[in-house]
């Protein structure tokens, strides 16, 4: 009788977990969800690497004669306001908790599952230049600390780590001028289900501030005194027609390794966001993720919605095309 009650209790917990995992961003069926809920909450040791053992990346190819060599940085804060939720207005619009993991936001202060271009345009922003765009990514948690928003939901235990800095920068193309992004453009980078997919969309680039030029798809162990970093590079080849697409990717893709955009696409300012954290050496940490992704580092991802005015975006493109640092 005792064993029967235990089995029933476990099955009941699994069923509750499956029922909770609904929403447009959830990519798997109920059987996969049940297995995920039964799994652990902390990544295995092989998901971590001492970054000093990782070879530096090969140097980028030289710029061509028509390159847009400028850069444009803006100060959008580091989410000191605590703007967080488990929504995803791009992939799960209109669904509260559609992401099943918590996101950190900078920029627009109103972003949630029900946001529209009109509501974003009317909201306040953390960007000092008035840019009302929204930038967001899954939070990072320290696993040997408990509590905090969303702790334990969908297996994402631990206390949220506050970024010590967030750098938002637009860069040019190494082979051509850029055209302004269209207002309302939606961009995704990385793959929130990379641990169970073919990995083709993985864009994880974890690093340490004291080891520039090195990055890894694994969680890095950084030397004492070095900050943990996440570099989030977004696609920069736009199809010239659409601000979104059914898979949220076909309308804007990454250039080839030499910087050339695919035929039929146009180079737009390339967005890079670098998030940094103070992390004691050896402290356990992990991303928020879908349950079946087991908080894998390769599930790193981020989202951008362009709400700059046409004048602001034209200023960005001009800065890049003229080779200035703005």
Name, in order, each residue with C-beta under 8 angstroms of 281's C-beta and a sequence gap of 6 or more. Answer: 221, 222, 223, 224
Judge if pTM exceeds 0.75.
Answer: yes
Q: State which H helix or E strand residue 277 sits in.
A: strand 270-277
Statement to judge: residues 5 and 91 lie in one domain = no
pLDDT for 258 beyond 80: yes
Confidence (pLDDT) at 196: 96
Confidence (pLDDT) at 3: 36
Q: Sorting pLDDT into bands at 50, 70 and 90, what band is 147?
A: confident
User: What's the domain range around 204?
Assistant: 42-321
Confidence (pLDDT) at 9: 39
Residue 13 belongs to some domain of the structure: yes
Residue 49 belongs to some domain of the structure: yes
Residue 257 belongs to some domain of the structure: yes
pLDDT for 115 beyond 80: yes
Residue-wise pLDDT tens digits, 294-310: 999 999 999 999 999 99
Confidence (pLDDT) at 61: 85
Confidence (pLDDT) at 107: 98
Statement to judge: residues 69 and 189 lie in one domain = yes
The per-residue pLDDT of the chain, averaged, comes to 88
Confidence (pLDDT) at 12: 37
**Positive/negative CA dihedral, 81, 228, 101, 305:** positive
Residue-wise pLDDT tens digits, 164-212: 999 999 999 999 999 999 999 999 999 999 999 999 999 999 999 999 9
- Read off the pLDDT of each residue in 4-18 and give the average, rounded to a whole number: 35
Statement to judge: residues 246 and 200 lie in one domain = yes
pLDDT for 21 beyond 80: no
Distance between CA atoms of residues 53 and 72, nearest Å: 33
Statement to judge: residues 19 and 137 lie in one domain = no
Query: Quick one: what percent of the chain has pLDDT higher than 90?
Result: 82
Q: State which H helix or E strand residue 120 sits in.
A: helix 117-121
Statement to judge: residues 129 and 184 lie in one domain = yes
Residue-wise pLDDT tens digits, 281-296: 889 999 999 999 999 9
Confidence (pLDDT) at 152: 86
Confidence (pLDDT) at 24: 34
Q: Which of 151, 149, 154, 150 is nearest to 21 (CA)?
A: 154
- Read off the pLDDT of each residue in 92-117 and give the average, rounded to a whole number: 96
Statement to judge: residues 317 and 280 lie in one domain = yes
Residue 326 belongs to some domain of the structure: no
pLDDT for 121 beyond 70: yes
pLDDT for 314 beyond 90: yes
**Strand stretches in 28-74, DSSP E:** 48-50, 71-74
Statement to judge: residues 23 and 67 lie in one domain = no
Residue 88 belongs to some domain of the structure: yes
Statement to judge: residues 33 and 144 lie in one domain = no
Residue 254 belongs to some domain of the structure: yes
- Read off the pLDDT of each residue in 73-82 and give the average, rounded to a whole number: 98
Statement to judge: residues 278 and 312 lie in one domain = yes
Statement to judge: residues 24 and 54 lie in one domain = no
195 within 8 A of 298, measured Cβ to Cβ: yes
Statement to judge: residues 294 and 225 lie in one domain = yes
Statement to judge: residues 25 and 55 lie in one domain = no
Q: Sorting pLDDT into bands at 50, 70 and 90, what band is 237?
A: very high
Confidence (pLDDT) at 11: 35
Q: Sorting pLDDT into bands at 50, 70 and 90, what band is 135?
A: very high
Confidence (pLDDT) at 60: 87
Q: Which of 324, 315, 313, 306 is nearest to 133 (CA)?
A: 306
In the chain, the number of structural domains is: 2
User: Could you give the dihedral angle defined by the CA atoms of residues 82, 88, 89 and 90, in that order, rounded to the nearest 10 degrees?
Assistant: 130
Q: Which of 26-40, 121-135, 155-169 has the lowest mean pLDDT?
A: 26-40
């Amino acid at each position: 009788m005792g064993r029967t009650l235990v089995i029933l209790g476990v099955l009941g917990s699994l069923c509750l977990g499956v029922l909770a995992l609904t929403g447009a961003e959830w990519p798997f069926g109920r059987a996969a969800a049940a297995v995920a809920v039964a799994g652990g909450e902390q990544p295995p040791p092989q998901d971590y690497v001492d970054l000093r053992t990782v070879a530096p990346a090969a140097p980028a190819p030289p710029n061509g004669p028509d390159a847009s060599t400028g850069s444009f940085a803006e100060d959008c804060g580091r989410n000191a306001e605590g703007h967080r939720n488990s929504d995803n207005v791009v992939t799960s619009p209109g669904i509260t908790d559609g992401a099943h993991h918590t996101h950190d936001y900078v920029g627009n202060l109103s972003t949630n599952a029900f946001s529209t271009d009109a509501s974003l345009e009317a909201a306040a922003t953390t960007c000092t230049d008035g840019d009302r765009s929204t930038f967001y990514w899954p939070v990072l948690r320290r696993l040997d600390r408990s509590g905090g928003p969303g702790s334990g939901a969908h297996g994402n235990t631990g206390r949220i780590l506050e970024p010590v800095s967030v750098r938002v920068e637009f860069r040019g193309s190494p082979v051509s001028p850029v055209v302004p992004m269209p207002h309302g453009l939606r961009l995704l980078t990385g793959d929130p289900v990379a641990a169970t997919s073919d990995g083709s969309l993985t864009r994880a680039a974890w690093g340490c501030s004291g080891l520039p030029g090195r990055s890894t798809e694994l969680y890095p162990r950084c030397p004492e005194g070095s900050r943990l970093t996440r570099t989030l590079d977004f696609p920069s080849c736009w199809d010239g027609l659409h601000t979104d697409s059914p898979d949220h990717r076909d309308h804007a893709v990454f250039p080839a390794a030499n910087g050339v955009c695919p035929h039929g696409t146009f180079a737009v300012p390339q967005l890079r966001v670098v998030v940094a954290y103070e992390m004691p050496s050896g402290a356990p940490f992990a991303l928020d993720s879908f349950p079946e992704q087991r908080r894998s580092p390769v599930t790193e991802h981020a989202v951008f919605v362009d709400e700059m005015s046409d004048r602001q975006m034209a200023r960005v493109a001009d800065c890049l095309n003229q080779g200035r640092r703005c």
